Structure 1
Amino acid sequence: MVKLALRTGLRWKVSLAIAGVSALVAVALSLVVHNAARVSMLNNARDVMDSRVQAAQTYYDSTRRLMPHAKLNDPRLPQELRDAAALGQRATYLQKTDSSGTLEVWASVPTRNGKILSIHNKYQDRFSILGELDKTLILGSVSVVLGGCALGILIGGQLSRRLRKAATAARRLADGEGDVRVREAIGGRVRDETDDLARAVDGMAEALQDRLEAERRVTADIAHELRTPVTGLLTAAELLPPGRPTELVRDRAQALRTLVEDVLEVARLDGFAERAEMQDIQLGEFVLRRVRIAEPEARVKVVRDAYVSTDPRRLERILGNLLANAAKHGKAPFEVSVEGRVLRVRDHGPGFPEELLLEGPSRFRTGSKDRAGKGHGLGLTIAAGQARVLGARLSFRNADPELEGDSGAIAVLWLPESSPTSTGSFPVIQVPD
């Protein structure tokens, strides 16, 4: 089952959270205020009617006459008040008179002659104040919610901007810009958890850079130290008498020397110390000559020629490694095409492994099972590093049999329009589509 994920910004999450809390608080306070006001008004109405019935009782006992609105043995008297009078108690009672909820307040008291003196009145106008109070509470609640949303957008927006800057700086750091610092990128005077995160990322980046630099130096030192004995081994192999064993020793010694040179080249590229020596060349003619030497059976097609400013030695190295990878892991026919500043190398083999398409070339990783045991995974790594030095962009993808007629691996090199100002000014990316 595919789970659908709703991606929302931190600003709106904070805003919704504050708005929700504000709404809950506003509703709770409104209910409390409404109920408190209603109870207070009802108690006040009871007290007023109780005072009036006491005054009517005093007047009746002294004059045997009834005050206005006072009645004896009112047939509409609620049963609850009749029961209270039977017990000799003075009481008040609230009664709804119609479906609209209009309240009528009753008060009764037993007289000395056994009758019940009562008085009642409707308090519709007085209780209508509750309606006005409710409107005021609703308006206040809406204002609180809107204010909470505005405050959430302000706070969340500031936090979101800082996190976006931190993410951008982290991506630049991952792309190899070692001088980038997340704490400097987010800026600001606020000291919060974002600063703690930025300092932690900066510390981790520095530690990783130190570790990678140490590993690079160790690799370079080991490869450098191996050059002398490997060269001696190759020289000694040349002195062996002719024969099959001699050929095997020479072949393995030469392979070992090539591996040492490749490791040294990768170490130099990883150190970002390489600089391109730019020259203006005609790309189509340059590719034709180099392909005839590196892979004579490859077919070259110049769709549109162009003059480019590049380092011919490094471009030749990239082209040679791509052709060598195609010959080693792919199948003929091999095709090289030039279209303006774009150079493509294609074979008709099983294609690049998924790991390479997703993560890019990696040293000493040869890919899928059908490509295992061939090479050391340094050819494409060197090609990608040299492309970075040239300011070019190198991508890898597999051919679509339905659209392109056959399977195969396709490497595409985009040369820049202008010379790079610094090593790695254009990142190397891998496009899996």
Structure 2
Amino acid sequence: MNRPHVDVGLRTSVVVAFAVGALVLSTALALGTYFSARHYLVEQRERTALRQAYTDAALVRDNLLTSGAQVSEVLGAIAQPVGTTLVVERGGRRYSSSLDPEGEDAIGPFREAVLDGSVVVGWSDATTPHSVVVGVPLAEADASYYEVAVAGELDATLTTLQVALAICAALTTIGGALLGRAASRRVLAPLDQVTTVAVRVSAGDLDARLPPTSDPDLAALVGAFNHMVEALRERIEHDARFAADVSHELRTPVTTLTTSLSLLQSSQGLPPASREAVDLMAAELDRFTRALRDLLLLGRLDAAVADSDPVTIEIGDAVTQALRACGKEPGLLVAGEASRTPVRVVRPTLVGALANLIANADMHGGGLTGVRVVGRGRFVDVLVEDQGPGVAEADRERVFERFARAGGRKPGSGSGLGLSIVERGIRNQGGSVWCMSGRDVGACFVVRLPVAQEVVA
């Protein structure tokens, strides 16, 4: 079974990279420091034990050479350090200054070397903690002398050093992560600016530009981005001029054709077949006129060319105006306090979009049942409900495509651009529109708009 792939953001990657780098570096330094300190401390402990053992071995040897001296009395006469066991082996017998057998067990691995006449310094794990063992041959006294010193202080020192280095490594890792976070903010700040300006451009603010920068690594990006936005603005203005020119060039012949067909329709001398042909031409010309009007309007919306400047209005006023434009009673609006929610929009565009949805409910949805306004905190929703067959779930996104018609729509009754005009017009206002099932029957088209910023603040 394949594991799900988790995408990690660039900021997170930078922070993790800094943290891992700090962890690796601090771990390497901690290990180097620990083993260097451990080697030095162990070496010093061995030298101290060896000097002490030589001194004590000389006393033991001198006392054993005294006539009638007992080994136990000799050991008792030596002031042994705390945690140190003195052992003398003579004549096949072993004498210890302690009743604890661990000290005698510790000398086992070193006996043969000492009996061969060598001075031995080593470590034994027969005690807890480990102990340093020093063995000195006493040839004159026919004996072997051992000192077993438990390295309790050394063990505690190394343990404290381990904890301190581990804490330092952890703090260094946390510091690396914080440094990575700060570095990621600094590095990604230009991308945040690009994102902000790109959002403004996509919302229709073609005057948005990236500020100039003195950073030579970013100057090329800033210049290319601003050049792209300028080229986009010129292209949109060109398209808007083209749409205006097309509108002007087509409006005159269409008006002439409409006037001519009206005259023919009012003529009394036409035979029935000719009148039927004239009526068919008039219907198709009317359909062509509406499609042309919708195409030109959609072109202006695509070019973000507004007929007027944005204003702050109450959402209820826009809904009421749309109802009246469609010949509906304002009583169909159900809003309450939400109707007074202010939105900043281009009034003709919003009213036209709402009127389009209301007309769509009458023409294709079995009749409008009501318009509701619901507050959503930073947003406000306008719900246009009908009592028709509804829109199949598979068609709820496709109905907003150009020239798309859902199954329930009457063929030939529109240009297929109405909902596209609604979607584009609402999106130009910073909002969104979608379709869902009605509360009981039919379809419900939802227009969501942001509340005016001065109110949100």
* More off after superposition, 335-344 vs 39-48: 335-344
Q: Deviations over 1:42-95 (max 9, x none)?
A: 233344555666788899999985996684547337333233246554432212
- The residue correspondences of 1:275-290 to structure 2 (distance < 5 A) are 275=308, 290=325
For the pair 1:83 / 2:112, whether they are aligned, the reply is yes
Percent identity, aligned pairs only, is 21
- The answer to whether the 8 A contact 2:64-2:141 is kept is no
- The answer to whether the 8 A contact 2:324-2:330 is kept is no
Give 3-state SS (helix, strand or coil) of 1:244's partner. helix
For the pair 1:263 / 2:298, whether they are aligned, the reply is no
**C-alpha distance in 2, partners of 1:51/1:310?**
94
Give 3-state SS (helix, strand or coil) of 2:183's partner. helix
- TM (norm. structure 2) is 0.63
* Pair 1:192–1:54, CA change in 2 (3 A): farther
**C-alpha distance in 2, partners of 1:220/1:236?**
24
**C-alpha distance in 2, partners of 1:344/1:124?**
80
Equivalent in the alignment of 1:331: 365
Tell me how far 1:144 sits from its aligned partner. Answer: 2.5
- The answer to whether the 8 A contact 2:261-2:282 is kept is yes
**Larger C-alpha radius of gyration, 1 or 2?**
2
- The answer to whether the 8 A contact 2:403-2:416 is kept is yes
Q: Deviations over 1:376-396 (max 9, x none)?
A: 44323445666789x796744
* Pair 1:41–1:247, CA change in 2 (3 A): same
Tell me how far 1:173 sits from its aligned partner. Answer: 2.1
The one-letter amino acid of 1:125's match is: E
Q: Where do 5+ consecutive residues of structure 2 fail to align?
A: 67-73, 79-85, 95-103, 375-379
**C-alpha distance in 1, partners of 2:110/2:144?**
9
- The answer to whether the 8 A contact 1:84-1:91 is kept is yes
- The residue correspondences of 1:385-424 to structure 2 (distance < 5 A) are 395-400=433-438, 404-410=439-445
For the pair 1:348 / 2:382, whether they are aligned, the reply is no
- The residue correspondences of 1:97-246 to structure 2 (distance < 5 A) are 97-98=126-127, 100-109=128-137, 111=139, 116-158=144-186, 163-181=191-209, 183-184=210-211, 202=226, 204-222=228-246, 224-231=248-255, 234=258, 242-246=274-278
For the pair 1:274 / 2:307, whether they are aligned, the reply is yes
Give 3-state SS (helix, strand or coil) of 2:332's partner. strand
Tell me how far 1:118 sits from its aligned partner. Answer: 4.2
- The answer to whether the 8 A contact 1:53-1:118 is kept is yes
Equivalent in the alignment of 1:379: 418
Q: Where do 5+ consecutive residues of structure 1 fail to align?
A: 419-433
- The answer to whether the 8 A contact 1:104-1:121 is kept is yes
- TM (norm. structure 1) is 0.66
Tell me how far 1:174 sits from its aligned partner. Answer: 1.7
Tell me how far 1:160 sits from its aligned partner. Answer: 6.2
